[in-house]
């Protein structure tokens, strides 16, 4: 195989990455798409491939012999069904995060992956951002010593628009935003420390969104649209204060990782700005990011070496492509994984573990903050990054 032929399941907001796979003169081409929305499929034909196969039944897409791999960009609660069906159909799979909405769902996907002899890759694009790759290399260099503490603050500006004006606001679809949103953050914590969480305790609540508005109310039809502080009149217009919303919008999580590392994660969906602030504290110093100004700061303490004589500021370069240049690179890595067996930065087990942490933290929140042990299941590789034998 010299060119990967791909199909897409789900042509929603995340389908903005599909253009990176459709390279007819390159090593990948998108030949088909499935979505329940005819309008989305029309947009796919207009923007990606006018000759591509489209269907409202994803099983018809999976039945096609001219498709080698599929990208699953559907809503979270459908990932398990779509990933398992694709693997059973003999397709390589790229699945957006979260891998599923329960650890058990993730395990069922991993079981099928190992039986299939195909590749499975999880869409953790934050691992492909310059800022976090830079932090990873600095930490691995040893300049801040052994990590002992991690502090993460996630300010989700426009959280209502992103998550409470559509299906994300109901726990039956997401479990909680500690999966949909925080799965990235739990993964970055695991990746940068090299350790997985062992137990968590968490507190959270629905402090702003939700309420008593009818579930079939949409912003354009609301008599309060001119005064509502969270009105949305663009793509996502379902009322953010409707009755069915039951997903916490303000969360605090405390974790103990392997090797005794302590970590905290805070997430709020009604802040004025959007930012992720990570701090890693080691025995010789600390590292902190500033994603507003695209900088990474390294500060050192007395260590008896030249490192204590100076602090360092890293300026991030602007990379082409969406998500700070991460999207084209993660898409390229999936193609290289399938065509050349080149291992990507992400692993299926890492996808499973971020879901396990999110679900455990959610359980803790909804049971009054009790400590929850993290179940690692039986899929942990001997070495992180180990893949099953693959038949292309």
**Tell me: the pLDDT tens digits for 165-175?**
998 999 998 88
Would the CATH topology of 4-123+326-346 be identical to that of 127-315? Answer: no
Tokens of 190: 């695991």
User: DSSP class of residue 216?
Assistant: T
**Tell me: the pLDDT tens digits for 13-35?**
788 999 999 999 999 999 999 99
Query: What is the C-alpha separation between 110 and 105, in angstroms, rounded?
Result: 9
Query: What is the C-alpha separation between 287 and 278, in angstroms, rounded?
Result: 8
What is this structure's pTM?
0.93
Residue 50: which H helix or E strand, with range?
Answer: none
Is the per-residue pLDDT at 364 higher than 80?
A: yes
Query: What is the C-alpha separation between 19 and 50, in angstroms, rounded?
Result: 13
User: DSSP class of residue 247?
Assistant: S
Name the CATH superfamily for 127-315: Dihydrodipicolinate Reductase; domain 2 (3.30.360.10)
The three-state secondary structure class of 202 is: strand
**Tell me: the pLDDT tens digits for 119-162?**
999 999 999 999 999 999 999 999 999 999 999 999 998 878 88
Selection from 53, 57, 79, 55 nearest residue 66 by Cα: 53
Chain-centre distance for alpha carbon 250: 19
In the chain, where are the structural domains located?
4-123+326-346, 127-315
Query: What is the C-alpha separation between 114 and 93, in angstroms, rounded?
Result: 12
Residue holding tokens 């996808």? 351
Q: Which CATH number fits domain 4-123+326-346: 3.30.420.40, 3.30.70.20, 2.60.40.1190, 3.40.50.720?
A: 3.40.50.720
Is the per-residue pLDDT at 391 higher than 80?
A: no
**Which residues lie below 8 Å from residue 347, measured CB to CB, with a gap of 6+?**
122, 381, 384, 385, 386, 387
**Which residues lie below 8 Å from residue 65, measured CB to CB, with a gap of 6+?**
none
CA distance readout (Å), 322 to 15, 18, 74, 121, 132:
12, 11, 19, 19, 15
Tokens of 348: 């299926």
- Percent of the chain past pLDDT 90, that is, above it, reads 85
Is the per-residue pLDDT at 237 higher than 70?
A: yes
């Amino acid at each position: 195989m010299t060119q990967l032929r791909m199909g897409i399941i789900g042509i929603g907001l995340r389908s903005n990455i599909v253009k990176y796979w459709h390279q007819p003169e390159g090593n990948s081409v998108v030949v088909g798409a499935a979505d329940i929305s005819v309008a989305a499929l029309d947009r796919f034909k207009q923007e990606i491939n006018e000759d591509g196969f489209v269907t409202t039944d994803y099983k018809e897409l999976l039945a096609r012999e001219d498709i080698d791999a599929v990208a699953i960009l559907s809503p979270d609660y459908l990932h398990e069904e779509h990933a398992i069906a694709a693997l059973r159909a003999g397709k390589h799979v790229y699945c957006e995060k979260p891998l599923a909405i329960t650890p058990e769902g993730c395990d069922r996907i991993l079981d099928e992956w190992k039986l299939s002899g195909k590749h499975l890759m999880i869409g953790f694009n934050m691992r492909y951002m310059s800022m976090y790759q830079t932090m990873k290399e600095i930490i691995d260099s040893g300049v801040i010593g052994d990590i002992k503490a991690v502090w993460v603050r996630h300010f989700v500006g426009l959280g209502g628009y992103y998550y409470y004006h559509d299906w994300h606001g109901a726990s039956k679809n997401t479990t909680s935003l500690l999966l949909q949103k925080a799965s990235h953050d739990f993964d970055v914590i695991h990746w940068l420390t090299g350790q997985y969480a062992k137990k968590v305790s968490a507190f959270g609540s629905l402090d702003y969104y939700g309420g008593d508005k009818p579930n079939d109310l949409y912003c354009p039809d609301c008599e309060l649209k001119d005064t509502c502080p969270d009105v949305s009149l663009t793509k996502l217009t379902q009322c953010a204060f409707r009755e069915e919303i039951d997903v916490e919008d303000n969360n605090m999580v405390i974790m103990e990782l392997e090797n005794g590392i302590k970590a905290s994660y805070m997430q709020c969906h009604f802040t004025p700005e959007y930012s992720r602030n990570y701090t890693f504290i080691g025995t010789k110093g600390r590292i902190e990011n500033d994603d507003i100004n695209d900088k990474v700061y390294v500060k050192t303490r007395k260590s008896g070496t030249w490192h204590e004589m100076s602090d360092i500021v890293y300026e991030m370069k602007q990379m082409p492509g969406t998500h700070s240049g991460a999207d084209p690179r993660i898409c390229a890595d999936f193609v290289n994984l399938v065509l050349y067996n080149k291992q990507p930065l992400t692993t299926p087990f890492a996808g499973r573990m971020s879901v396990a942490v999110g679900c455990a933290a959610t359980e803790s929140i909804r049971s009054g903050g009790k400590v929850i042990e993290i179940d690692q299941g039986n899929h942990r590789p001997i070495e992180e990054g180990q893949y099953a034998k693959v038949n292309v």
